[in-house]
Amino acid sequence: MRVTDTPLTSEATPGGAPALSAQYAPGDVEQRRYEQWVADGLFQADAKSDRPPFTIVLPPPNVTGSLHIGHALDHTVQDSLARRRRMQGYETLWLPGMDHAGIATQNVVERQLAGEGLSRHDLGREAFVERVWQWKAESGGKILGQMTRLGDSVDWSRERFTMDEGLSRAVLTIFKRLFEDDLIYRAERIINWCPRCLTALSDIEVEHSDDDGELVSIRYGDGDGAIVVATTRAETMLGDTAVAVHPDDERYRHLVGTEVELPLTGRRIPIVADEHVDPAFGTGAVKVTPAHDPNDFEIGQRHHLPNLTIMDEHGVITVHGPFLGLDRFEARPAVVAALRAEGRIVAEKRPYVHAVGHCQRCSTTVEPRLSLQWFVRTGPLAKAAGDAVRDGRVRVEPQELTKRYFGWVDNMHDWCISRQLWWGHRIPVWYGPEGQVVCVGPDEEAPSGPGWTQDPDVLDTWFSSALWPFSTLGWPDQTADLAKFYPTSVLVTGYDILFFWVARMMMFGLYAMDGRQPFDVIMLHGMVRDQYGKKMSKSFGNVVDPLDWIERFGADATRFTLARGANPGADVPVSEDWVQGARNFCNKLWNATRYGLSNGATLAGELPAQEELTTVDRWVLSRLQHVIGEVDEQFEAFELAKVCDTLYHFAWDDVCDWYLELTKPVLSGTDEAAKERTRRVLGHVLDRLLRLLHPIMPFVTEELWTTLTGDRTVVRAAWPVADESRIDDAAEAELANLQRVVTEVRRFRADQGVKPSQRVVARLDGLAGAGLTAHEGLIRSLARLDAAGDDFAATAKLAVGVGVTVELDTRGAIDVAAERARLTKDKAAAEKEAEQCRAKLGNPAFTDKAPEPVVAKIRQRLAAAEADLARIAAQLDAL
Please report the pLDDT score of residue 164 as a whole number. Answer: 96
Name which residue leads in pLDDT, 160 or 281. 160
Please report the pLDDT score of residue 498 as a whole number. Answer: 67
Q: If pLDDT is split at 50, 70 and 90, which confidence band does 405 have?
A: very high
Q: If pLDDT is split at 50, 70 and 90, which confidence band does 373 have?
A: very high
Does 462 score more than 50 pLDDT? yes
- Residues 296, 298, 303, 305, CA torsion sign: positive
Q: If pLDDT is split at 50, 70 and 90, which confidence band does 798 have?
A: confident
Question: What's the CA gap between 243 and 217, in Å, rounded?
Answer: 13
Mean pLDDT of 272-296: 93
- By the 8 A CB rule, do 555 and 28 touch? no
Question: What's the CA gap between 100 and 424, in Å, rounded?
Answer: 7
CATH 2.60.40.10 holds for 199-368: no
Q: If pLDDT is split at 50, 70 and 90, which confidence band does 7 have?
A: very low
Name the CA dihedral angle for 151, 155, 160, 161, rounded to a multiple of 10 degrees: 10
Does 17 score more than 60 pLDDT? no
Does 701 score more than 80 pLDDT? yes
- Say whether 136 counts as a known binding-site residue: no
CATH number corresponding to 576-727: 1.10.730.10
Mean pLDDT of 448-464: 95
Question: What's the CA gap between 237 and 262, in Å, rounded?
Answer: 8
Q: Is 267 exposed, middle or buried (0-12, 13-18, 19+ CB in 10 A)?
A: middle
Q: If pLDDT is split at 50, 70 and 90, which confidence band does 682 have?
A: very high
- In sequence order, the β-bridge partners of residue 354 are 211
Give φ, ψ of 452 to 5 degrees.
-90, 130
Q: If pLDDT is split at 50, 70 and 90, which confidence band does 5 have?
A: very low
Mean pLDDT of 841-857: 85
Q: What is the pLDDT of residues 61-111, one digit of tens each?
A: 999 999 999 999 999 999 999 999 999 999 999 999 999 999 899 999 999
Class of domain 817-878: mainly alpha
- In sequence order, the β-bridge partners of residue 530 are 574
Integer-rounded Cα Rg, in Å, for the chain is 35
Please report the pLDDT score of residue 10 as a whole number. Answer: 33
* Start and end residues for every CATH 3.90.740.10 domain found in the chain: 199-368
* Start and end residues for every CATH 1.10.730.10 domain found in the chain: 576-727
* Start and end residues for every CATH 1.10.287 domain found in the chain: 817-878
For the chain, the average pLDDT equals 92
Strands (E), 476-538: 488-494, 519-525, 528-530
Mean pLDDT of 301-316: 94
- By the 8 A CB rule, do 342 and 263 touch? yes
Give the residue among 34, 7, 160, 169 at the shortest CA–CA distance from 94.
160
- By the 8 A CB rule, do 572 and 528 touch? yes
Does 18 score more than 70 pLDDT? no
Give the residue among 829, 804, 665 at the shortest CA–CA distance from 744.
804
- By the 8 A CB rule, do 472 and 167 touch? yes
825: amino acid identity, one letter:
K
Does 639 score more than 50 pLDDT? yes
Question: What's the CA gap between 591 and 194, in Å, rounded?
Answer: 57
Coil, helix or strand at residue 844: helix
Q: Give percent of the chain above pLDDT 70.
A: 97
Please report the pLDDT score of residue 739 as a whole number. Answer: 96
Please report the pLDDT score of residue 551 as a whole number. Answer: 97
Which range among 5-9, 276-280, 365-369, 451-455 shows the weakest confidence by mean pLDDT? 5-9
Which range among 35-39, 765-769, 866-870 shows the weakest confidence by mean pLDDT? 866-870
Mean pLDDT of 217-239: 93
**Residues in contact with 741: Cβ distance below 8 Å, sequence separation at least 6, in sequence order:** 764, 770, 772, 779, 783, 800, 802, 804, 806
Residue 786 belongs to what H/E stretch? strand 785-787
Beta-carbon-side half-sphere exposure of residue 363 (alpha carbons within 13 Å): 2
Which range among 125-129, 298-302, 810-814 shows the weakest confidence by mean pLDDT? 810-814
- In sequence order, the β-bridge partners of residue 744 are none
- By the 8 A CB rule, do 678 and 614 touch? yes
Q: In what order do the strands lie in the sheet with 206-220?
A: 227-231, 206-220, 345-359
69: amino acid identity, one letter:
I
Does 9 score more than 70 pLDDT? no
Q: What is the pLDDT of residues 594-621, one digit of tens each?
A: 999 999 999 988 999 999 999 999 999 9
Does 817 score more than 90 pLDDT? no
Q: What is the pLDDT of residues 549-599, one digit of tens each?
A: 999 999 999 999 999 988 888 888 889 999 999 999 999 999 999 999 999
Give the residue among 52, 53, 59 at the shortest CA–CA distance from 77.
59
Q: If pLDDT is split at 50, 70 and 90, which confidence band does 543 have?
A: confident
Does 832 score more than 80 pLDDT? yes
Does 257 score more than 50 pLDDT? yes
700: amino acid identity, one letter:
V
**Residues in contact with 4: Cβ distance below 8 Å, sequence separation at least 6, in sequence order:** 31, 32, 35, 36
End-to-end CA distance of the chain: 67
- Residues 118, 123, 126, 131, CA torsion sign: negative
Please report the pLDDT score of residue 1 as a whole number. Answer: 31
Please report the pLDDT score of residue 539 as a whole number. Answer: 62
- Omega before 568 within 30 of 0, i.e. cis: no
Q: If pLDDT is split at 50, 70 and 90, which confidence band does 815 have?
A: low
Which range among 320-324, 364-368, 756-760, 823-827 shows the weakest confidence by mean pLDDT? 823-827
Q: What pTM does this model have? A: 0.85
- Omega before 263 within 30 of 0, i.e. cis: no
Coil, helix or strand at residue 767: coil
